[in-house]
Amino acid sequence: MIKVGIIGATGYTGVELLRLLATRTDVEISVVTSRELQGTSVHRHFPNLRGHLELTFAAPDSEQLAACDVVFYATPHAVAMKSVPKLFDAGVRIIDLSADFRIKDVSLWEQWYGSEHSCPALVAKAVYGLPEVNREKIKQAQLIAVPGCYPTAIQLGFLPLLENNLVECSQLIADAKSGVSGAGRKAVADYLLCEATESIRAYAVTGHRHHPEICQGLNNLTESEVKLTFIPHLTPMIRGLLATLYAPVKSGLDVSSEQLQSMFEERYANEPFVDVLPQGEVPATRDVKGSNRCEISVTYLAHTNTVVVISAEDNLVKGASGQAIQNMNIMFGLDETTGLNNIALLP
């Protein structure tokens, strides 16, 4: 029985961790913390958990957390770094869904997240939790930085192209569309139904925090320097993230859709949660709603000598909480798919 603690579980990644963990028989949710809702029943706040979880939100308590086998941080950025060191020293495994340990270049992190990092030493020890790249390291890790939602979909899409040195790395484009849950459960006017539904718009056009994270990951896959144009869009739906990726083929290379298809299928043949669609089918976010599956299609457009990759994930599952649990499964030597093989809700 794995004893689990969840810190800051009042948002959407928090409730998603609870949804995916509460029915498992090999996991005991030991403590769920929230300063704000301390003393409130968790299912009063998240009624979908009625009958499945009889816990109240607790104040963060070091001893209780230190007694856990693994602690998930579902906190805003720049929160985890403050209490992770203590838990780390206590030997607890830590899976951080925030950005605090994702970027190895601490000064770059500080620039994008606007605060001083309080434990740079642990950044070096943290493993970036993208199993399709780092599975062996995850097995040994004590501290996992769970990738962001955009970085997951975009890295998985570009990965075979970069590993195979096929495209012009300095001219990558990622046009990404995210559901509104990506913004969290913050009471901000921009995300009101009346502001966000029946409309689509780009945001963070001149720079988004996930940009350095994505570039770090892509640069690890290739020797050329990656240059990426990344434009995220707010899409009128709750869940789902679709990344449409454009990459010009290196001059002199001869490619075809069939060849790309095989390359992608081989690369992901043993990946339980990356699903390369048959040629001619295209991903839709509804096909992965509530599941940990990432759907990918790849197409070669001869007239512009461009590869178009499309990847779809549920931003709260493969883009956050599902991937966090996938990491947990790997860390504890479990079957990687444990508790993650539920089928997407369609329609």
Q: Is 347 in the site for a copy of itself (CB under 8 A)?
A: yes
Residues 6+ apart with CB under 8 A from 100: 73, 77, 78, 79, 80, 81, 84, 109, 117, 123, 145
Q: Is 76 in the site for a copy of itself (CB under 8 A)?
A: no
Residues in 142-201 that interact with a copy of itself by CB under 8 A: 170-171, 173, 175, 177, 180-181, 185, 187-189, 191-201
- Which CB, 102 or 239, lies closer to a copy of itself? 239
Q: Is 297 in the site for a copy of itself (CB under 8 A)?
A: yes
φ, ψ for residue 224, nearest 5 deg: -70, 155
Which position among 149, 169, 215, 294 bears the catalytic label? Answer: 149
Residues in 32-51 that interact with a copy of itself by CB under 8 A: 44, 46-51
215 is catalytic: no
Q: How far lies 29's CA from each of 46, 52, 91, 150, 179, in Å?
A: 15, 11, 18, 28, 28
Q: Is 211 left (phi over 0), alpha (psi -120 to 50) or beta?
A: alpha
3-state secondary structure 19-60: HHHCCCCCEEEEEEECCCCCCCEHHHHCHHHCCCCCCECECC
Residues in 218-257 that interact with a copy of itself by CB under 8 A: 227-229, 231, 233, 235-240, 242, 244, 246, 248
Q: Is 341 in the site for a copy of itself (CB under 8 A)?
A: yes
- Which CB, 116 or 258, lies closer to a copy of itself? 258
Q: Is 286 in the site for a copy of itself (CB under 8 A)?
A: yes
Q: How far is the CB of 83 from a copy of itself (least distance, A)?
A: 25
CB 343 within 8 Å of CB 156 = no
Q: Is 299 in the site for a copy of itself (CB under 8 A)?
A: yes
Active site residues: 149
